[in-house]
């Protein structure tokens, strides 16, 4: 039985939902990852294929999210999808494992954006390691402060922050057009490609980074209980977000690669700032960096907003600590959940480096969240039938099968230590669930 959502107000329309998705997708990711992808692809223009692959996976997986999000428009997103997909028995441990990993990886996601913010901020002002940590921690604190309010106000803030995405992306693309060589990377995309094991490995590593930059197209599903006409606006907002961001990412990468040598791109920590410096001078580079920081800040804002609804949803459903089910008495948002995740993210922002968390974030999420809910969707189709769903993907079940296969390829490409770390976290979650289930006499310990 689904939990009640009567206390969450449906105030977010299509424009605001799309904005929330897009600012979560962009963030600091593409501005930092661009150099990493070029380096992984051995400084060849074929690096553009990794960005195309990320878009393809996002679009296919977006169909999975659309069927589930439109049918179960509730706070918590994947928590509900796993619970419903795996059914009354197995849905409990699967949804618990999702919340378990979320309590670890959600603060990592928030912290990664804040750390990336501090990294780019050092282009403007040289920061020591300690000063960089202080900046990233301050970003998390300010985000929590801005989110501590009613959802309709947050929707307006999201649209305002979203504008920064188009300003910086438009500037990057226009600069390359004026520079006059924008088609060059596309013309050389197949140069020196050898389809062998080495290329496949490099491509997989590069795709881990690009897929990280696309994450967030589903953020609206975590806010399902607050979306107007969710059966239409949830799928539409996701596909709009993926299409727009795919175009912007490809054009951004093509633009930068048409001006800067690939070797310089691979070695840069501030590649977009350096690109703007080449085409428009140092003052313009400073302004562009400020806009990138605006976009990065917006991403932390959007991610924290979505994740704060997950522990709330689980607690409200009786599957997590009851304190997380509390809504603010006057502003009607899950303030305990927000404060907890913000506090852990604040701690993580002091403990980790950006390079340590990007791959870890993906490895932790793939098996339970992405592969798990795709399998759950197949199970739900078998039990309920196709007409049960409020939105229906074309060519079912092919997109689901493709999504599972692609996610497993990405998981394999995260390397052995990250796969091991993800497995250990899942194993610990299973142990904690069994202890909880044994105490409460729940599946698999309930009496028949």
For the cut 60, the answer to whether the pLDDT of residue 447 exceeds it is yes
**Cα separation, 190 vs 203, whole angstroms:** 13
**E strand segments, 352-439:** none
State the pLDDT at residue 156: 67
Residue 436 — pLDDT band, cuts 50, 70, 90? confident
Higher model confidence: residue 16 or residue 448? 16
User: Which residues is 390 bridged to in the sheet?
Assistant: none
DSSP state of 323: G
Higher model confidence: residue 16 or residue 277? 277
For the cut 70, the answer to whether the pLDDT of residue 448 exceeds it is no
The 3-class secondary structure across 295-350, one letter per residue, is: HHHHHHHHHHHHHCHHHHHHHHCCCCCHHHHCCCCCCCCCHHHHHHHHHHHHHHHH
**Cα separation, 430 vs 181, whole angstroms:** 54
Highest mean pLDDT among 120-129, 139-148, 375-384: 375-384
Residue range 189-224, pLDDT digits in tens: 999 888 888 899 999 999 999 999 999 899 899 888
For the cut 80, the answer to whether the pLDDT of residue 420 exceeds it is yes
Residue range 388-397, pLDDT digits in tens: 999 999 999 9
User: Which domains does the chain possess?
Assistant: 14-408 (1.20.1740.10)
For the cut 90, the answer to whether the pLDDT of residue 35 exceeds it is yes
State the pLDDT at residue 251: 93
User: Which residues is 12 bridged to in the sheet?
Assistant: 227
With H, G, I as helix, E, B as strand and everything else as coil, classify residue 328.
Answer: coil
For the cut 70, the answer to whether the pLDDT of residue 307 exceeds it is yes
State the pLDDT at residue 296: 79
For the cut 60, the answer to whether the pLDDT of residue 7 exceeds it is no
State the pLDDT at residue 322: 84
Tokens standing for residue 169: 């992306």
Buried b (16+ CB within 10 A) or exposed e, 30-49: bbbbbbbbbbbbebbbbbbb
Q: Average the pLDDT over 6-24 and give the result.
A: 80
CA angle 20, 375, 216 (to 5 degrees): 15
Higher model confidence: residue 380 or residue 112? 380
Are 104 and 429 spatial neighbours (Cβ–Cβ below 8 Å)? Answer: no
Higher model confidence: residue 100 or residue 306? 100
Are 332 and 312 spatial neighbours (Cβ–Cβ below 8 Å)? Answer: no
Are 155 and 176 spatial neighbours (Cβ–Cβ below 8 Å)? Answer: no
Q: Average the pLDDT over 127-135 and give the result.
A: 91
For the cut 90, the answer to whether the pLDDT of residue 24 exceeds it is no
For the cut 60, the answer to whether the pLDDT of residue 57 exceeds it is yes
Residue 151 — pLDDT band, cuts 50, 70, 90? low
Q: Average the pLDDT over 51-56 and give the result.
A: 97
Q: Which residues contact 25 (CB under 8 A, 6 or more apart)?
A: 213, 214, 215, 216, 217, 241, 245, 299
**Cα separation, 402 vs 61, whole angstroms:** 9
Residue 2 — pLDDT band, cuts 50, 70, 90? very low
**Cα separation, 255 vs 227, whole angstroms:** 36
State the pLDDT at residue 108: 86
For the cut 80, the answer to whether the pLDDT of residue 5 exceeds it is no
How many CA atoms are closer than 13 Å to the CA of 11, on its beta-carbon side? 13
State the pLDDT at residue 332: 80
With H, G, I as helix, E, B as strand and everything else as coil, classify residue 12.
Answer: strand
Mean model confidence pLDDT for the chain: 88
State the pLDDT at residue 373: 95
**Cα separation, 86 vs 82, whole angstroms:** 6
**Cα separation, 294 vs 224, whole angstroms:** 26
State the pLDDT at residue 249: 94
Are 411 and 207 spatial neighbours (Cβ–Cβ below 8 Å)? Answer: no
**Burial class, 429, CB count within 10 angstroms (exposed 0-12 / middle 13-18 / buried 19+):** buried
Are 351 and 360 spatial neighbours (Cβ–Cβ below 8 Å)? Answer: no
């Amino acid at each position: 039985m689904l939990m009640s959502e009567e206390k969450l107000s449906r105030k977010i329309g299509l424009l605001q939902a799309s904005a929330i998705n897009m600012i979560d997708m962009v963030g600091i990711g593409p501005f930092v990852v661009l150099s990493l992808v070029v380096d992984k692809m051995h400084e060849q223009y074929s690096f553009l294929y990794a960005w195309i692959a990320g878009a393809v996976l996002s679009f296919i997986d977006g169909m999975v999210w659309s069927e589930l999000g439109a049918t179960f428009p509730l706070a918590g997103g994947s928590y509900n999808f796993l619970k419903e997909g795996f059914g009354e028995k197995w849905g409990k441990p699967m949804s618990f494992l999702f919340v378990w990993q979320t309590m670890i990886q959600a603060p990592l996601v928030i912290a990664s954006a804040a750390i990336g913010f501090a990294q780019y901020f050092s282009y403007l002002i040289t920061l020591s390691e300690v000063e960089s940590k202080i900046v990233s921690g301050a970003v998390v604190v300010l985000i929590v402060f801005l989110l501590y309010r009613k959802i309709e106000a947050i929707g307006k803030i999201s649209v305002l922050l979203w504008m920064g995405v188009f300003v910086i992306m438009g500037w990057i693309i226009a600069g390359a057009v004026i520079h006059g060589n924008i088609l060059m990377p596309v013309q050389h995309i197949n140069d020196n490609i050898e389809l062998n094991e080495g290329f496949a490995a490099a491509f997989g590593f590069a795709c881990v980074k690009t897929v990280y930059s696309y994450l967030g197209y589903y953020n609206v599903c975590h806010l399902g209980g607050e979306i107007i006409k969710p059966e239409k606006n949830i799928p539409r907002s996701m596909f709009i977000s993926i299409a727009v961001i795919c175009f912007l990412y490809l054009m951004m990468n093509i633009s930068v690669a048409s001006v800067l040598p690939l070797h310089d791109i691979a070695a840069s920590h501030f590649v977009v700032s350096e690109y703007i410096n080449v085409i428009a001078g140092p003052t313009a580079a400073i302004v562009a960096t400020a806009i990138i920081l605006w976009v990065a800040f917006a991403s932390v804002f959007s991610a924290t907003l979505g994740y704060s609804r997950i522990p709330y949803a689980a607690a409200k459903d009786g599957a997590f600590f009851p304190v997380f089910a509390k809504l603010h008495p006057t502003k009607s948002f899950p303030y305990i959940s927000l404060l907890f995740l913000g506090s852990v993210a604040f701690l993580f922002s002091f403990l980790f480096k950006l390079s340590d968390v990007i791959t870890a974030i993906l490895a932790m999420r793939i098996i339970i969240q992405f592969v798990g809910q795709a399998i759950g969707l197949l199970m739900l189709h078998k039990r309920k039938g196709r007409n049960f769903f409020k939105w229906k993907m074309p060519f079912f079940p092919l997109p689901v099968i493709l999504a599972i296969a692609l996610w497993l390829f990405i998981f394999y490409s995260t390397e052995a230590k990250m796969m091991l770390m993800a497995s250990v976290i899942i194993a610990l979650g299973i142990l904690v669930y069994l202890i909880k289930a044994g105490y409460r006499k729940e599946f698999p310990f309930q009496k028949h």
